[in-house]
Amino acid sequence: MIEQDHRPKLHFTPPFGWINDPNGMVHIEGNYHLFYQYFPDGLTWGPMHWGHAVSRDFIEWKHLPTALYPDELGMIFSGSCVYDVNNTSEFGKDGHKPIAAIFTNHHEVSGTEVQSIAYSLDGIHFEKYYGNPVITEPSLKDFRDPKAFWNPINNCWSLVLAANDRVKFYRSDNLKLWSKTGDFVVGGNGVFGICECPDCFPVKTECGIKWVLIISMIIPVDDERKQVHKTQYFIGQFDGDTFVDTERSDDPLWLNCGPDHYAGVTFQNLDKPVMIGWANNWKYACDTPATDYRGQMTLATEIKLKNTALGWRVAMTPLGLEAYKTKELYVNSGVKFKSNAFGVNVRGADNEKIIFSNEEGEEICIEVTNSEIIVDRTKSGKKVFHPLYDFYGKTIAKRFSYKDFELKIIFDVSLLEIFADDGLISITMSVYPDNPYSTLKFDGDSKVELYYFN
Ligand code: FRU
């Protein structure tokens, strides 16, 4: 049987091969550069490269040549890029300003992880620095994923790096020599685990600038097999050396409530925080139905902070979609879809159940009550490819406002993204229907608008 292609139309996918984390995202003169963990020679995780693509609107991507290949220090794991406009690194030449990449070299045999740099003067070809590695900590395991940013407090470069049960901050004047400035240890809220892919960035609010620290985490649970990969965030201040979580919450704050959002980080050199994550889950990522590629990114979302009754929380708004949308039209229950990339806006006050289904009886069910949003993919299509896909079959998100609701649902062939309660709730979920969903049904009194993506 030929595998059905579940390739989304709006979400980023590679031309072929395997992808995971987004890397090195940087904005330069209207171009959004996306690098990503890439194994071009297979459909499962393998020796990691950095793939590369560029977009001007976050939706249409132009694929560029592979940017970084494994070397004698190891595979090229996750990391970031900065635009070194003032040529602090002195990598620039003849007026060409360098893009500097800082990434982890993971040694395949010893498992050693060190941080290295490379630079590009044309935004396509990268040269590795002869002095690599630039950060080492021989005694540390799980020491990876540097995210560099301009430090406006001490006027230098800083980076945040995952180091097992914590993240570490470093500073540098030239991107080559780095010194440690502080640690932020996770677990204060009861969630322990191995940190990955941290990010730290300022957000403007009506009460001044607050900083957000993002940490993707491998969280152990009783049953080792089911260990969870999820992304936490903390809100507070960056004092120039380290992050302090001044807006403490008793409960952990999760960035996305769905099962398929991991390793999300923001663009550098942009005046607002815009994030892209990997829309997959390590538990079953290597087994999902695939043709010539495997893995996809989430939509780009702007991150804002909102002051809720529970305290400050992250809110997400998807970007870039407007130009691709047809007119939104009110529809009744039972309407047939004309395409498998569509958006549905639902506004109501009472409980509602929205179902996308096909003639095979496969369906996704989205239920809204005044306290929860429940998304059920347990009957959505293919699922026996991995037992834990079904273990993550239902998402239950606690609602923020307890009255009227407004859901923005984006469905893109095999990816569902839901934004609710002003973006305070976001849910990303993959599904693999045998045939496209053909019908939209709902049973409450909500106003439902449908539109398509061109
Ligand atoms: C997170 C991660 C990173 C690592 C990369 C390897 O998904 O495990 O910590 O750099 O993937 O591909």
Residue 214 C-alpha to ligand 1 middle, in angstroms? 15
Length of the chain, please? 454
Total Cβ atoms within 10 A of residue 271 = 7
pLDDT, one tens digit for every residue, the chain (454 residues): 456 789 999 999 999 999 999 999 999 999 999 999 999 999 999 999 999 999 999 999 999 999 999 999 999 999 999 999 999 999 999 999 999 999 999 999 999 999 999 999 999 999 999 999 999 999 999 999 999 999 999 999 999 999 999 999 999 999 999 999 999 999 999 899 999 999 999 999 999 999 999 999 999 887 766 679 999 999 999 999 999 999 999 889 999 999 999 999 999 999 999 999 999 999 999 999 999 999 999 999 999 999 999 999 999 999 999 999 999 999 999 999 999 999 999 999 999 999 999 999 999 999 999 999 999 999 999 999 999 999 999 999 999 976 799 999 999 999 999 999 999 999 999 999 999 999 999 999 999 999 999 8
Q: Cα separation of 198 and 189, whole Å? A: 17
**Protein residue with its CA nearest to atom 9 in ligand 1:** 196
Judge whether 204 and 211 are in contact, CB under 8 Å: no
Strand 293-294 and strand 17-28: the pairing is parallel
Choosing from 78, 227, 282 the residue with most ligand 1 atoms within 8 A of its CB, the one to mutate for a pocket test is 78
Q: Which residues form ligand 1's pocket by a CB distance below 6 Å?
A: 20-21, 37, 48, 77-78, 104, 144-145, 196-197, 262-263
Closest ligand 1 atom to the C-alpha of 79? Answer: 10
Q: Cα separation of 59 and 299, whole Å? A: 8
Residues 6+ apart with CB under 8 A from 20: 36, 37, 45, 263, 278, 280, 285, 295
10 Å CB burial of residue 79 (0-12, 13-18, 19+) is buried
Closest ligand 1 atom to the C-alpha of 145? Answer: 10
Judge whether 300 and 276 are in contact, CB under 8 Å: yes
Residue 28 C-alpha to ligand 1 middle, in angstroms? 25
Collapsed DSSP state (helix, strand, coil) of residue 11: coil
Choosing from 197, 199, 219, 280 the residue with most ligand 1 atoms within 8 A of its CB, the one to mutate for a pocket test is 197
Judge whether 25 and 33 are in contact, CB under 8 Å: yes
Judge whether 252 and 189 are in contact, CB under 8 Å: yes
Query: Rounded to the nearest 5 degrees, what angle is found at the Cα of 24, between the Cα atoms of 92 and 220?
Result: 145
Catalytic site residue from 5, 21, 287, 292? 21
Judge whether 262 and 231 are in contact, CB under 8 Å: yes
Question: Encoding tokens for residue 24?
Answer: 């090195």
Which of the 8 DSSP states describes residue 400?
S
Going from N- to C-terminal start, the domains of the chain cover: 17-318, 322-452
Q: What is the pLDDT of residue 224?
A: 64
Q: What is the pLDDT of residue 225?
A: 67
Which of the 8 DSSP states describes residue 226?
G
Q: Cα separation of 405 and 147, whole Å? A: 36
Residue 389 C-alpha to ligand 1 middle, in angstroms? 20
Per the DSSP assignment, residues forming a β-bridge with 234 are: 213
Closest ligand 1 atom to the C-alpha of 229? Answer: 7
Closest ligand 1 atom to the C-alpha of 77? Answer: 10
Total Cβ atoms within 10 A of residue 207 = 9
Residue 76 C-alpha to ligand 1 middle, in angstroms? 10
Question: Encoding tokens for residue 139?
Answer: 């005694």
Q: Which class in CATH covers the domain with range 17-318?
A: mainly beta
Please check whether the two domains, 17-318 and 322-452, share a CATH topology.
no
Of 150, 183, 188, 190, the closest CA to residue 164 belongs to: 183
Q: What is the pLDDT of residue 1?
A: 45
Report pTM: 0.97
The amino acid sitting at 358 is N
Residue 46 C-alpha to ligand 1 middle, in angstroms? 11
Judge whether 412 and 10 are in contact, CB under 8 Å: yes
Q: What is the pLDDT of residue 401?
A: 75
Question: Encoding tokens for residue 169?
Answer: 């901050």
Q: Any catalytic annotation for residue 21? A: yes
Question: Encoding tokens for residue 95?
Answer: 């007026």
Q: What is the pLDDT of residue 300?
A: 98
| Topology of the domain covering 322-452 | Jelly Rolls (2.60.120)
